[in-house]
Structure 1
């Protein structure tokens, strides 16, 4: 069966058939869509499966190309990628300001103090389990009571230091004082205090009050005030 012409929609016989742009044409019907100039296989230009001469071939602008479905999809995809990158960068840098605050000397001191408190709590639990659940010593109770008061914020400024509150000035040690052994590390907070490490022997110890003592560190030779709940009698 003979096909129909792409322009006049009449039967195209083999002797006058032109096969182009996925259609069949009469030789006289294969002409420009605008000026109707008869075309051939050498001088035609196809656009949307319609023949055009060189002068009337549709010129596509950048705007029409940018508005195609493919370019609109690419534009939307690029926008989504930009939003994803922004969210990733935001999540990556979200905690940097907090880190800068946490690295200040004040926060470092608080962190060190909390570590000391945790170490003390661990030793208290260990001693309690070793002695069969006996209640802690009065010195430990004193320290715990002080800690509960000190960690409560007051106008957002507080000092959670583990030392009990002093109640008396240091006294000069007498010869023949008691010997104690340090059970925790301690760093002096004032000029009249003395620093020591876990296991140091404290000589010539004199009791000042329920929370503080006065003594001399055998390892360093330094003497001064020290918290009573950081040492134990030998």
Structure 2
């Protein structure tokens, strides 16, 4: 059976066949029913199996008719039935609600909604600001406002007086007290449970303008307070208890100081002993005085240290001649030595042998002083006060000591200056 075109009712061959809207069409016959515009499978619209273009596609329209008494009665019955059904379900679900604490997400959402509402309100207020004209109240308007206020107060007091005697305060019955106590206990248990559940969870919220302002003010107040306390304690001394680490450092420093002192002292003594001209300048070493009991009568009969000194020979050493010159044993005018005293033989001065000077052994190099806690500067910083230090990026800060939140004390290794610096400008290295 041959296929017929729905437009011209002629035979449709396969090469020009177009099947659409449950009918067969020639490609040239597939046109809009109104304007005869040639259509294709992409831009046609069918209505009652007839092709149309987008412009002439028929649209459905509605006709508004007045409600008949029957329709109004049905609508009213439906509304009443809906209200009855709603209240019935509400009464059933009345005791099935559970009050829970607001989570941080809900609180943050409420705060954001409130902020958005305020922003929207202010924007609408600014937009409508120029649309209103403020005029002064006329005497008639003022009278009307005053009368309305008075009438409202009178009506309020009248209703209050009417309902004043309708309420009676009674003591709580045991059942009510028990119910109140149970409610309080349940509330405490629920609070503890919610607190335990949210104990280890953190919520990150964006900083608002108020939070940033408060944080900046707190930082400024802390800095002012710190500088005020620093100025007060500038000339005072604080006595703190030495911890074991400080005591150990003090002990090691004392031991090292003692060792260093004695080592230098021994070295000086050795150098003095090795000096070749010591006896030439100072003469022979003086003997140490003994005790009186050491002088026995048999050997020192009639003699005294004073007479012995005057009786002994005088010896003079001439460095130019190199010989001993003996003086007379007894000069004229000297007192006569006591009987039984034998003068000692003349003595000659023997110079000490020359000794070659030997340099002291090299001392071991002292270890460099400890740099303590070392930090590295992340940014450039310029001091804002006399007790602060300036530094540049990548400078090393040695002997750092944290003092307060956000501040520390240290020495800039490049310049050797020591003072206060912000701890968020540096990072620890060791």
- TM-score, with normalisation over the residues of structure 2? 0.16
Higher relative contact order (CA 8 A, sep 6+): 1
Which protein is richer in strand relative to its size? 1
Of structures 1 and 2, the larger Rg is shown by 2
- TM-score, with normalisation over the residues of structure 1? 0.29
